[in-house]
Structures are given as C-alpha cells and as structure tokens.
Amino acid sequence: MGFVDTVMAGRYGSSDLAAVALGSSVWLPIFLASQGLLMATTPMVAHLVGANRISATRQTLHQGLIVVVVLSLLAILTLHNCMPLLRAMDVNPTLAMTTNQYLQAISWGFPALLFYQLIRSYIEGFGKTRPAMMISILGLLCNIPLNYALIYGKFGFPELGGVGCGWATAAVMWIMCISTLLYLSRSSSFKSVSPFTDWKLPKQEPFKRFLLLGIPIGIALLIEVSMFSIIALLLADLGEVIIASHQITISFTGLIFMLPLSISMALTIRVGQQLGANQFDQARYSAITGFMITLCVATFSSSIMAIFATDIAKLYTAELSIIQIATTLITIAAIFQFSDAIQITCSGILRGYKDTATPLFLVFISYWVIGLPSGYLLGKTDLLVPKMGATGFWVGLLIGLTIGAILLFSRFQWKSRQSTPSSL
C-alpha cells in the first residue's frame, strides 16, 4: 500500500510526492513504535499455545486493548500538531501545509490500524497467518481505487492530491480493522477460546510483563525507522528532488523488506510455540532454517535492485533528475539487503525467546551511535569526504545495518545456547 501511495502521488506531482514522503517520515515512526509494543502479543500468545494454555490467551488480548486506546489518543493528538516540527525543519510553507493536512487525514485511521494490529498479532500467535494475508490483500484492493478517487478527484470526490492519500489510507485502515474483528468473532477456530468474553481488569504482573516485553520492541522499531525518517527531515532543506528520490528508495526497499520481515514474524510464532512446549533444540533448528531462507531471499532481492535500479525509479516518476539520484540510492540499498534481512530475522527469533531488552540496546548502538552519525558526516559535512548529500546518508545506513546484523546474530547464538525452562 505504501508502494501504491508513493507511485500514485508521484504521478500526480513531485510536490505531492514530497508531502507524502515527509508525512510518512512523521506518522510511520509513531505507528511502528505502537505496533512494536502490540507485537508483544504474538510471542506471549505463542508460548501459551505451545504450553496448551489456550484460555489464558484472552487476558493477553484484553491487556492489549487498553494499550490500543491509550496509543490511539496519543497518536491523534500528535499528528494534529505537527506544523511546529515542519517549520523547525525549514520546510517550504506550501509543502508544509500539504504535509500537515496529509497527517491530519491519516490520523483518523490510527485507532483502527492499532486495533487491527493487536487482533492480527493475537491470531498469528496461534500460528494462523492466512487471515492477515487475505485482509491485507483486501486493503490493497480498496486502497488503489480510493487513492485514484481522492488524489485525482474522480467519481464525484474532490481532487485532493497528496492529501487524498491520507484520507484513502485512513479509510483502508477501518476496512481492515472491521474485517479482522469479524473474522475473530465468527471463526470456528476461536469459538472455544471466546476471546471477547470474561472481561476483567488487568492484573498488575501480567500487564507489567506485557509492557516489559512490548516496549523494547516498540522502541527498537522506532529507532530503526526513525533513522530513515530523520534522514528525510535532514534532507528537507535540499529541495523536493532530493526528498522525492529518497522517498522512492524508501518505498521500494520497504516493499522488498516485507519478504524478510514476513520470515521474521513467522519465526517469532514458530520459535515461541516450540519454546512454550520446551522444545529447545527444535526452536534453534527453526531459527537456523529461517536464516537460510532469508539469505536466499536477500540474494534474489539484491540482484533485482542492482540490475534494474533505473527501471525501478522510472516506475515512480518521469522526471530525469529524480530518476538519476534515486538510481544511485537504490544501488546502495541493494548492497545492504543482506544486513537488513539478517538483522530483522534475528529480531524476530529473539522475540520468540522473549528477549527484547538487550536487542534494543544493540539496535540503538548500531543505528543511532554508528549509522546515523556516519551518514550525517558523509552527507552534510566535508570532514571525511566532500559532501555526498543523500548518498552519504544511505552509506551510513549500510554501515549501521551491517553492525546491527553482526551484533544481533551474536546475541541469538548466545541466547539459543543459554535457554532453559526457567530462563523463559
């Protein structure tokens, strides 16, 4: 859906593409941090399913609903007050106004999006991933005509340009939320669980465990995605062409990133269920198998990006200046496909081990202490080499992701050898 938003906004105009890019740099970190916190649901439910304590999963879902309400209110409040941030970054006033309207539009879908993520994480804890796939396809099929109608002013709707992306996305969020709720309430697979019955106030210890597991996941995701977002904001003063080129690269790499991310999420479920059943050797075997699959995927995606970098850029825009810069950035992104795939796979495995605090520290060191400063030195200063602009920041990303992959893989090796029933 992000790919569709970027392509359709880019075809409407570079200014609207830049607005969607800047807006995404603001709302995506908020969403991913919130999603990360809710992702604690999956390993907690997976462990309970593996231990055959099915009825206990209801409590995890109910705890998550409280978190969803709080996070939704905070997100709406934040996204309605972003103009001071855009002004502080010296964004062009017209571009800032469009970006602000885009953020306000998308904010109304946040409660639905977070509720959807909670239910999805709960369902996936049972090892059922097909429902989320089908509902995501439904969302995509709805997103395309809604974008077309609201961006270009078709079927009697007003012509909103990039702001239309925000309203279309918000509508899709509600469609996906309602669909997921209907599935959970009507599916025969969950009738014995009765997930929406036996409501009780959350007990302190289980709720504390939920937060202690989820908060590091959320912060780790925030650290990673905010590195990309901060780069977009730091590039804002270099003009719409640079912003648009950066967004094109982010969009396509984000699309490709879904492949290792899906393997990572599957490993969280698989490893979590096996550890819940005290099958420690099988959990490690599943993890190693996941790494092998991930490396095959990374080899394929890296090759495609390196060979077809220019063609990929042309999918988004016909402006030659944007295509030239985006081609260079996509080529660099092709190189770090291996590092990115390995680090996200490790993160998913470690979530299955309920190990989130230490990975958070490792991610912070890799991205914010090493990656982002390296990118800034290369991109906006002459201390090491002449200013490289956006290219320097993407080289910094390559450095940070590589360090992160090495550290997280080392953590997995240690954790998988130390795990015992008492440690989980």
* pLDDT tens profile 372-403: 899 888 887 888 888 877 778 888 888 998 99
- 171 in the same domain as 270: no
Measuring CA to CA, how many Å separate 404 from each of 192, 347, 362?
42, 10, 7
- 371 in the same domain as 248: yes
For the ranges 234-238, 329-333, 379-383, 394-398, which has the lowest average pLDDT? Answer: 234-238
- 142 in the same domain as 272: no
Structural domain contains residue 244? yes
Mean pLDDT of 188-195: 78
Structural domain contains residue 263? yes
The per-residue pLDDT for 87 is 82
The per-residue pLDDT for 3 is 74
Structural domain contains residue 320? yes
- 181 in the same domain as 312: no
- 314 in the same domain as 399: yes
Instruction: Count Cβ atoms below 10 Å from residue 203 Cβ, excluding itself.
Output: 11
Structural domain contains residue 230? no
Point out the domain boundary residue: 218, 252, 283: 218
Query: Residue 376's Cα: distance from chain center in Å?
Result: 23
Angle between helices 390-418 and 204-234 (to 10 degrees): 160
Point out the domain boundary residue: 218, 252, 273: 218
Amino acid at 270: R
The per-residue pLDDT for 30 is 86
Structural domain contains residue 229? no
Structural domain contains residue 370? yes
Structural domain contains residue 80? yes
Look up tokens 């309920």; give the residue.
354
Average pLDDT of the chain, as a whole number? 85
Amino acid at 232: A
pLDDT confidence of 360, banded at 50, 70, 90?
Answer: confident
- Find the domain containing 60 and state its range: 1-218
The per-residue pLDDT for 185 is 85
Go through the chain and tell me how many residues it has. Answer: 424
**Percent residues over pLDDT 70 in the chain:** 98
In the DSSP assignment, the letter for residue 189 is G
Residue 421: its H or E element: none
- 400 in the same domain as 317: yes
- 173 in the same domain as 321: no
Give me the number of domains the chain comprises: 2
Query: Going by C-beta distance under 8 Å and a sequence separation of 6 or more, which residues neighbour residue 233?
Result: 22, 25, 89
Structural domain contains residue 18? yes
- 174 in the same domain as 61: yes
- 157 in the same domain as 305: no
By the 8 A CB rule, do 275 and 419 touch? yes
- 276 in the same domain as 209: no
- 417 in the same domain as 302: yes
- 195 in the same domain as 297: no
pLDDT confidence of 405, banded at 50, 70, 90?
Answer: very high
For the ranges 60-74, 127-141, 409-423, which has the lowest average pLDDT? Answer: 409-423
Mean pLDDT of 79-99: 83
Query: How many separate helices (H) and strands (E) can be counted in the chain?
Result: 18, 0
